[in-house]
């Protein structure tokens, strides 16, 4: 059995993977699965059997297009399940380095994609203010975002 | 008409500011009452933050919504990712009193409160709902004689349980807005297919993500179009910047111009490609820019 109990967490969130009949509509509908090892049907099967899947690479190959969730004949919220399993993995310290880096941008700038010099030049050429009307321009607002991230202990979650 | 606040997100102001400019120019022309949402942050991006930690996702999203509540305005997004993140968070918080309470404990530390009094809108859905293709058509000064490959982008229409926009397999509302500009929205295989950027795939698994967008670009090229139109800067980045990456990694060259809908609409409303920042794309297609010049002179 997986530890933590993935199946129970999914069931508690109203994601009924046990009703899966393994028809494969999800895998057949998956654009990522055409190019990667992501096999959605297998992921759901593992979740049903409550097998350990937190270290599975394909967990991170879902582009969250929601085709599988829209088309599932049993109405299983498959993308929600994948996102929930990712959450469990991250809280066990399992995350990809690129995603940790994006998270650290958020902690520092309040933007997952902060501004750069090339864009400032473009903004100037367009007659826009150098800094947009976001946390980039308002230090107090950025401080508020940082307070929220600390309050949620997001800083601890994504630290190196 | 609904009063709005403009939620910029990250990629538009910080990578594709032409879309920010185009949006403002269109709104001025269409007389839409839309204020800046000062001090907003990342939505936060659903691919990483939503899947990492739900309380964090809701705290950051609810702060952005609360800023708009203070102004008594609906939040207007011009990005499918921001729309998905903010609109889903808004739905969850409106429907779940416990979740709202726990989220407001975090917000209390910065003297904010999420009340659940406004809606989150997407520009395409807003224009379709509050103007409609016929009214847009009447305002066009430069009918665009263009063949367009429309890319809806997944999170504009899915998950459909939280959106009320009709069919997710064969939607038409966005096509109708494209055709209102005089352009033809061309049908092509896998039109509703994902660009491959979302879910943290582009950031962490770049080559796989490029294979996905390469598939889409090859089909669009075969369809023979003047440009691609989207309403999401992350799809825009993937479709535009992705072409340069594909050229470098796979040696394939497409050179297809990519426009956000506000840039297409801006052209039809009489603005130049330069005013709309279309020339700031990674892909610079002189043939397309020349064609725009001709349309403006006619």
Can you give the pLDDT at residue A1?
63
Q: Where are the domains of chain A?
A: 6-91, 97-157
What gap in Å lies between CA A127 and CA A141, rounded to an integer?
24
Can you give the pLDDT at residue B46?
87
Asked if the Cβ–Cβ distance from A127 to B51 is below 8 Å, we say no
Strands (E), B17-161: 34-36, 74-77, 120-122, 147-150
Helix (H, G, I), strand (E, B) or coil at A99: helix
User: Which among B241, B275, B235 has a CA at the least distance from the CA of B124?
Assistant: B235
Asked if the Cβ–Cβ distance from B199 to A64 is below 8 Å, we say yes
Q: How far is B134 from chain A (nearest CA, A)?
A: 30
A109 pLDDT more than 90: yes
Asked if the Cβ–Cβ distance from B45 to A145 is below 8 Å, we say no
Task: Give Cα B89 distance to the centre of its chain.
Answer: 18
- Which member of A96, A114, A141 has the closest CB to residue B39? A141
8 A C-beta contact, residue B76 and residue B97: no
User: Which among B28, B125, B36 has a CA at the least distance from the CA of B83?
Assistant: B125
What gap in Å lies between CA B125 and CA B4, rounded to an integer?
13
Asked if the Cβ–Cβ distance from B42 to A103 is below 8 Å, we say no
Q: Identify the closest residue of chain B to A151 by CA–CA distance.
A: B106
What gap in Å lies between CA A105 and CA A145, rounded to an integer?
12
Q: Which residues contact B205 (CB under 8 A, 6 or more apart)?
A: A36, A60, A61
Asked if the Cβ–Cβ distance from A65 to B10 is below 8 Å, we say no
- pLDDT band of residue A4 (cuts 50, 70, 90) is confident
Asked if the Cβ–Cβ distance from B212 to A63 is below 8 Å, we say yes
Give residue-wise pLDDT tens across range A18-58: 999 999 999 999 999 999 999 999 999 999 999 999 999 99
Asked if the Cβ–Cβ distance from A133 to B154 is below 8 Å, we say no
Interface test with A, best of B71, B114, B200, B209 (most A CBs within 10 A): B200
Asked if the Cβ–Cβ distance from B36 to A86 is below 8 Å, we say no
User: Which among B116, B114, B42, B53 has a CA at the least distance from the CA of B81?
Assistant: B42
Asked if the Cβ–Cβ distance from B110 to A61 is below 8 Å, we say no
Q: How far is A90 from chain B (nearest CA, A)?
A: 6
ipTM > 0.90, yes or no:
yes
- Which member of A70, A97, A152 has the closest CB to residue B160? A70
8 A C-beta contact, residue A92 and residue A86: no
Strands in B184-185's sheet, in edge-to-edge order, are B184-185, B147-150, B227-230, B258-260
pTM for the structure as a whole: 0.97
Can you give the pLDDT at residue B298?
73
Per-residue pLDDT tens listing for chain B (298 residues): 899 999 999 999 999 999 999 999 999 999 999 999 999 999 999 889 999 999 999 999 999 999 999 999 999 999 999 999 999 999 999 999 999 999 999 999 999 999 999 999 999 999 999 999 999 999 999 999 999 999 999 999 999 987 878 899 999 999 999 999 999 999 999 999 999 999 999 999 999 999 999 999 999 999 999 999 999 999 999 999 999 999 999 999 999 999 999 999 999 999 999 999 999 999 999 999 999 888 887 7
Architecture (CATH level 2) of domain A6-91:
Orthogonal Bundle (1.10)
Interface test with B, best of A14, A25, A29, A35 (most B CBs within 10 A): A35
Q: How far is A154 from chain B (nearest CA, A)?
A: 7
Asked if the Cβ–Cβ distance from A63 to B194 is below 8 Å, we say yes
Q: How far is A141 from chain B (nearest CA, A)?
A: 5
Contacts of B8 in chain A (CB under 8 A): 132-134
* Tokens found for residue B287: 């043939």
Q: How far is A49 from chain B (nearest CA, A)?
A: 22
Kindly list the distances between the CA atom of residue B163 and the CA atoms of B34, B82, B159, in Å, as whole numbers in the listed order.
22, 14, 7
Helix (H, G, I), strand (E, B) or coil at B146: coil
User: Which among B281, B226, B215, B224 has a CA at the least distance from the CA of B250?
Assistant: B215
Kindly list the distances between the CA atom of residue A134 and the CA atoms of B19, B35, B59, in Å, as whole numbers in the listed order.
16, 13, 17
Bridge partners, B36 (sequence order): B6
Q: How far is B126 from chain A (nearest CA, A)?
A: 22
What gap in Å lies between CA B1 and CA A32, rounded to an integer?
41
């Amino acid at each position: 059995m997986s530890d933590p109990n993935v199946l129970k967490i999914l069931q508690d969130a109203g994601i009924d993977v046990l009703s899966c009949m393994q028809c494969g509509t999800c895998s057949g509908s998956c654009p990522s699965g055409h190019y990667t090892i992501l096999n959605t049907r297998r992921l759901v099967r593992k979740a049903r059997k409550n097998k350990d899947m937190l270290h599975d690479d394909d967990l991170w190959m879902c582009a969250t297009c929601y085709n599988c969730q829209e088309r599932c004949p049993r109405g299983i919220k498959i993308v929600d399940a994948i996102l929930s399993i990712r959450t469990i993995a991250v809280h066990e310290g399992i995350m990809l380095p690129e995603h940790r880096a994006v998270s650290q941008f958020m902690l520092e700038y309040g933007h997952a994609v902060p501004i750069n010099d090339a864009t400032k030049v473009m903004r100037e050429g367009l007659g826009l203010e150098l800094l947009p009307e976001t946390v980039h321009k308002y230090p107090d607002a950025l401080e508020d975002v940082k307070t929220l991230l600390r309050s949620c202990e997001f800083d601890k979650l994504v630290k190196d | 008409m609904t009063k709005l606040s403009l939620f910029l997100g990250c990629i538009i102001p910080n990578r594709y500011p032409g879309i920010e400019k185009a949006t403002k120019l269109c709104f001025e022309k269409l007389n839409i009452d839309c204020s800046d949402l000062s001090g907003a942050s990342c939505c936060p991006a659903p691919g990483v933050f939503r899947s990492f930690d739900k309380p964090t996702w809701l705290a950051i999203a609810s702060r952005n919504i609360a800023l708009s509540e203070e102004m008594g305005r609906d939040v207007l997004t011009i990005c499918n990712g921001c729309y998905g993140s903010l609109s889903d968070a808004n739905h969850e918080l409106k429907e779940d009193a416990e979740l709202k309470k726990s989220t407001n404990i975090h917000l209390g530390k910065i003297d904010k409160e999420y009340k659940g009094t406004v809606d989150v809108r997407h520009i395409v859905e807003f224009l379709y709902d509050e103007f409609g293709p016929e009214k847009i058509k009447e305002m066009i000064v430069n009918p665009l004689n263009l063949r367009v490959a429309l890319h809806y982008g997944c999170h504009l229409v899915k998950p459909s349980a939280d959106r009320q926009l009709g069919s997710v397999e064969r939607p038409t509302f966005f096509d109708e807005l494209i055709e209102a500009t005089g352009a033809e929205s061309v049908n092509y295989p896998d039109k509703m297919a994902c660009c491959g950027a979302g879910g943290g795939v582009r950031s962490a698994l770049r080559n796989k993500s490029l294979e996905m967008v390469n598939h889409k670009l090859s089909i669009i090229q075969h369809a023979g179009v003047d440009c691609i139109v989207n309403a999401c800067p992350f799809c825009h980045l993937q479709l535009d910047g992705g072409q340069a990456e594909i050229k470098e990694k796979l040696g394939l060259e497409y050179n297809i111009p990519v426009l956000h809908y506000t840039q297409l609409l801006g052209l039809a409303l009489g603005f130049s490609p330069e005013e709309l920042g279309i020339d700031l794309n990674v892909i610079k297609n002189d043939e397309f820019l020349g064609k725009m010049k001709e349309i403006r002179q006619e």
